[in-house]
């Protein structure tokens, strides 16, 4: 594996807790200046994977290179180049916001101005509050400040918006885009589809410690059943005629009474076939929509619909 | 487009100067210790109240001159409070709040994290020495300049011994358990560990045990030194052994998170 190519490369990563494999043969690749989202349900192995890459956890098998360096044991040389946002933060219970950002800034050679960062992340009003009295959202923004204050080449963000309100989420998204634009590589974990879809150049969907799908947001949502066409019309129409008129590979169904679904490669020809078929039946197709699968559909399809603990 | 100016986050990685990291961490740890009400009660208020009380009231038997003997007692208590109780409790809760993981994820070398904690502890002990010494002077303590070196040696060894036990406790158990154990041990050692009541005034079997405890060795050594004598080699060895044994065990058992 060449160390120079990517900001992060992992091949065949395995981490076991007791006999159980939390991460089971994971491959990852992150280019400099791009954003990789690890998307998965709770307990999929996202945090474990990130902790291995940060050097905070030992791996059992596999090769990992972070900025060309093996992260095992978190060598000093590597920690000076990466920024880490831990899930659940991490700070002295009595420390004030400004003090904690200042402490982490003091560890870097050429840090961002802590006062500016505290202000930018909307923490000025609580800059003198002790950590234990901050809201979860404020603690999370402080954790984000600690991750970026040292001007790292690579930033790990473990569920960066999990407890934020919509404004806070926008702010974090804006910041991640700015990091990317300035050439910082970002590895983020999330279980929010929209977050992965909006921010990431590349999404890796993990479940049970394995990659179940990966690609750009476009590739993932376009894969499989390309598109779907939905419309409403009188219930109980005979679909055989429609099915016969549709091109090969397209199927028609009526999932709920009066609501029809055509799946397959929906092109203008298919659209026209459907509308003219409706016209021949003497019904007006209503609320006709061509929809791509959302990332959420892909995600639920791959990881199942049962609830995770 | 983002609301950030282009180039704001352009990478400029690198480790900060070691001296600046250490100074920032020691400064922060010291401020945290001196700002927390419960810790200040333990490390300064109670020792001050005892210093005044023991010097002026004749409740506990103490040799003359009372202010010097009282200073020996409260210096031992102050060291125990800071290095053991306060240190263990803050370490327990720092671990709970993820401080160790947070620091381990910055460019601070591990040894500097440990050094920073020790520095913060030493700074608090220094504040205690200055404050308690000044009040003792006001109460009539007349220091013998020749004994100050021995006092300092005892304080350093006592801090090392109690600090090692404190780290062992605070780094191994759950935070609530650390809080309970550290306070109970403090209380027991204060009354039955040779701190407040000299070993000579305790029942025979207890006295024999007490001189082997860091509390007994430190308090007896400090009182003897401040009253014009000096520490026995036994007292110095007891403190050194506690520091070495507890330190060795701690390096094996202490968990960072």
Q: Using DSSP, how many helices (H) and how many strands (E) does chain A show? A: 11, 13
Q: Is the minimum CB–CB distance between B25 and chain A shorter than 8 Å?
A: yes
Average pLDDT value over all residues in chain B: 93
Q: Is the minimum CB–CB distance between B255 and chain A shorter than 8 Å?
A: no
Q: Could B99 and A182 be called an inter-chain contact, meaning their C-beta atoms sit closer than 8 Å?
A: no
CA distances from B76 to B31, B161, B168, B221, B233 (A): 22, 12, 20, 9, 17
Answer yes or no: is pLDDT of A305 > 70.
no
Interface of A with B in 41-80 (CB under 8 A): 54, 56, 74, 76, 79-80
Q: Could A90 and B101 be called an inter-chain contact, meaning their C-beta atoms sit closer than 8 Å?
A: yes
* CA A154-A155-A158 angle, 5° bins: 145
Strands A227-232 and A210-215: unpaired
Nearest to A177 among B2, B97, B105 (CB): B2
Considering chain B, what percentage of its residues have pLDDT values greater than 70?
Answer: 99
Sign of the Cα torsion B1, B2, B7, B10 reads negative
The pLDDT assigned to A222 comes to 67
Task: State pLDDT tens for residues A88-104.
Answer: 889 999 999 999 999 99
Answer yes or no: is pLDDT of A1 > 60.
no
User: Which residue has tokens 């992340």?
Assistant: A121
Of the candidates B155, B138, B142, B146, the one whose C-alpha atom is nearest the C-alpha of residue B74 is: B155
The pLDDT assigned to B256 comes to 65
The pLDDT assigned to A2 comes to 42
Q: Is the minimum CB–CB distance between B21 and chain A shorter than 8 Å?
A: yes
Q: Is the minimum CB–CB distance between B99 and chain A shorter than 8 Å?
A: yes
The stretch B122-131 carries a mean pLDDT of: 96
Partners of residue A28 on adjacent β-strands: A10
Task: State pLDDT tens for residues A184-228.
Answer: 999 999 988 889 989 999 999 998 898 988 888 888 876 555 577
Average pLDDT value over all residues in chain A: 88
Interface confidence, given as ipTM, is: 0.87
Q: Which residue has the higher pLDDT, A218 or A172?
A: A172
Q: What is the dihedral of CA B95, B98, B101, B103, to 10 degrees?
A: -90
| pLDDT band at A147; cut points 50, 70, 90 | very high
Task: State pLDDT tens for residues B95-119.
Answer: 999 998 899 899 998 888 888 999 9
Taking CB atoms and an 8 Å cut-off, how many pairs form between chains A and B? 129
Helix (H), strand (E), coil (C) string for chain B: CCCCCCCCCCCCCCECCHHHHHHHHHHHHHHHHHHCHHHHHHHHHHHHHHHHHHHHCCCCCCCCCHHHHHHHHHHHHHHHHHHHHHHHHHHHHHHHCCHHHHHHCCCCCHHHHHHHHHHHHHHHHHHHHHHHHHHHHHCCCCCCHHHHHHHHHHHHHHHHHHHHHHHHHHCCCCHHHHHHHHHHHHHHHHHHCCCCCCHHHCCHHHHHHHCCCHHHHHHHHHHHHHCCCCCCHHHHHHHHHHHHHHHHHHHHHCCCC
Answer yes or no: is pLDDT of B210 > 90.
yes
Neighbour tally for B31: CB within 10 Å: 16
- Quick one: how far is CA A237 from the chain centroid? 41
Of the candidates B190, B198, B188, B197, the one whose C-alpha atom is nearest the C-alpha of residue B224 is: B198
Q: Could B93 and A93 be called an inter-chain contact, meaning their C-beta atoms sit closer than 8 Å?
A: yes
- Quick one: how far is CA A13 from the chain centroid? 19
- Residues on chain B touching A181 (C-beta within 8 angstroms): 2, 6
Domain range list for chain B: 18-253
- Lowest average pLDDT, out of A50-54, A225-229, B225-229, goes to A225-229
The pLDDT assigned to B127 comes to 97
The stretch A107-133 carries a mean pLDDT of: 95
| pLDDT band at A307; cut points 50, 70, 90 | low
CATH of domain A8-221: 3.40.50.300
Nearest to A148 among B9, B32, B108 (CB): B9
Answer yes or no: is pLDDT of B37 > 60.
yes
Q: How far apart are CA A119 and CA A113, in angstroms?
A: 10
Q: How far apart are CA A122 and CA A97, in angstroms?
A: 11
- Residues on chain A touching B15 (C-beta within 8 angstroms): 76, 80, 107-109
Strands A35-39 and A202-207: parallel
- Residues on chain A touching B96 (C-beta within 8 angstroms): 93
Interface of A with B in 91-150 (CB under 8 A): 91-95, 99, 102-112, 131-132, 146, 148, 150
Q: Could B2 and A175 be called an inter-chain contact, meaning their C-beta atoms sit closer than 8 Å?
A: yes
Q: Cα distance from A84 to chain B (closest Cα, Å)?
A: 6
- Lowest average pLDDT, out of A286-290, B47-51, B237-241, goes to A286-290
The pLDDT assigned to A153 comes to 96
The pLDDT assigned to A250 comes to 85
Q: How far apart are CA B152 and CA B157, in angstroms?
A: 9
| pLDDT band at A309; cut points 50, 70, 90 | low
Of the candidates A21, A70, A38, A11, the one whose C-alpha atom is nearest the C-alpha of residue A192 is: A38
Q: How far apart are CA A52 and CA B121, in angstroms?
A: 33
For A200, phi and psi rounded to 5 degrees? -90, 145
Contacts of B188 (CB under 8 A, 6+ apart): none
- Which of A64-78, A260-274, B178-192: highest mean pLDDT? B178-192
Q: Cα distance from B160 to chain A (closest Cα, Å)?
A: 23
For A155, phi and psi rounded to 5 degrees? -120, 130
Q: Is the minimum CB–CB distance between B3 and chain A shorter than 8 Å?
A: yes
Q: How far apart are CA A204 and CA A212, in angstroms?
A: 8
Q: Is the minimum CB–CB distance between A168 and chain B shorter than 8 Å?
A: no
User: Which residue has tokens 């250490």?
Assistant: B22
CA distances from B78 to A31, B32, B114, B122 (A): 55, 17, 21, 12
Q: Could A90 and B102 be called an inter-chain contact, meaning their C-beta atoms sit closer than 8 Å?
A: yes
The pLDDT assigned to A3 comes to 40
Nearest to B105 among A56, A108, A111 (CB): A56
Nearest to A181 among B2, B16, B35 (CB): B2
User: Which residue has tokens 């050692």?
Assistant: B189
CATH class of residue range A226-292: alpha beta
- Which pTM was predicted? 0.83
Domain range list for chain A: 8-221, 226-292
Q: Is the minimum CB–CB distance between B98 and chain A shorter than 8 Å?
A: yes
The pLDDT assigned to B33 comes to 94
């Amino acid at each position: 594996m060449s160390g120079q190519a990517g900001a992060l490369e992992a091949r065949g990563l395995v981490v076991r807790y007791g006999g159980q494999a939390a991460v089971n043969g994971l491959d990852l690749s992150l280019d400099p200046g791009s954003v990789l989202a690890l998307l998965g349900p709770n307990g999929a192995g996202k945090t474990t994977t990130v902790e291995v890459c940060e050097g905070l956890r030992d791996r059992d098998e596999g090769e990992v290179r972070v900025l060309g360096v093996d992260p095992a044991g978190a060598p000093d040389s590597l920690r000076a180049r990466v920024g880490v946002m831990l899930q659940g933060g991490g700070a002295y219970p009595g420390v004030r916001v400004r003090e904690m950002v200042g402490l982490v800034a003091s560890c870097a050679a050429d840090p961002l101005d802590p006062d500016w960062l505290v202000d930018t992340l909307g923490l000025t009003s609580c800059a003198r509050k002790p950590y234990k009295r901050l809201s979860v959202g404020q603690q999370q923004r402080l954790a984000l400040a600690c991750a970026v204050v040292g001007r790292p080449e690579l930033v790990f963000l473990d569920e960066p918006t999990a407890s934020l309100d919509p404004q806070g989420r926008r702010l974090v998204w804006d910041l991640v885009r700015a990091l990317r634009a300035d050439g910082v590589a970002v590895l983020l974990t999330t279980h929010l589809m929209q977050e992965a879809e909006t921010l990431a150049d590349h999404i890796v969907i993990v479940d049970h410690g394995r990659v179940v799908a990966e690609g750009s947001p476009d590739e993932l949502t376009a894969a499989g059943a390309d598109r779907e066409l939905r419309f409403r019309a009188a219930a109980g129409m005979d679909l055989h005629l429609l099915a016969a008129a549709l091109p090969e590979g397209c199927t028609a169904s009526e999932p709920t009474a009066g609501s029809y679904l055509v799946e397959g490669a929906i092109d203008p020809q298919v659209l026209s076939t459907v509308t003219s078929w409706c016209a021949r039946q003497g019904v007006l197709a209503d609320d006709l929509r061509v929809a791509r699968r959302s990332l959420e559909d892909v995600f639920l399809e791959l990881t199942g619909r049962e609830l995770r603990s | 487009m983002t609301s950030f100016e282009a180039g704001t986050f352009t990478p400029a990685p690198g480790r900060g100067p070691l001296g600046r990291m250490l100074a920032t961490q020691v400064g922060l740890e010291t401020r945290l210790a001196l700002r927390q009400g419960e810790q200040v009660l333990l490390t300064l208020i109670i020792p001050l109240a005892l210093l005044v009380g023991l010097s002026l009231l004749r409740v506990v038997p103490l040799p003359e001159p009372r202010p010097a003997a009282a200073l020996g007692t409260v210096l031992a208590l102050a060291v125990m409070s800071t290095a053991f109780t306060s240190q263990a409790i803050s370490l327990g809760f720092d671990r709970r709040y993820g401080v160790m993981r947070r620091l381990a994820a910055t460019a601070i070398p591990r040894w500097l994290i440990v050094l920073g904690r020790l520095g913060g502890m030493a700074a608090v002990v220094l504040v205690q020495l200055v404050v308690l010494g000044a009040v003792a002077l006001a109460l009539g303590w007349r220091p013998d300049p020749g004994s100050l070196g021995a006092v300092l040696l005892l304080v350093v060894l006592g801090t090392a011994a109690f600090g090692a036990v404190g780290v062992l406790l605070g780094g191994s158990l759950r935070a609530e358990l650390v809080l309970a154990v550290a306070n109970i041990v403090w209380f027991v050692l204060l009354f039955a560990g040779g701190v407040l009541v000299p070993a000579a005034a305790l029942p025979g079997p207890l006295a024999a045990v007490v001189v082997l405890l860091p509390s007994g060795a430190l308090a007896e050594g400090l009182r003897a030194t401040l009253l014009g004598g000096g520490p026995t080699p036994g007292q110095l060895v007891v403190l050194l052994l506690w520091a070495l044994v507890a330190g060795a065990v701690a390096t094996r058992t202490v968990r960072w998170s």
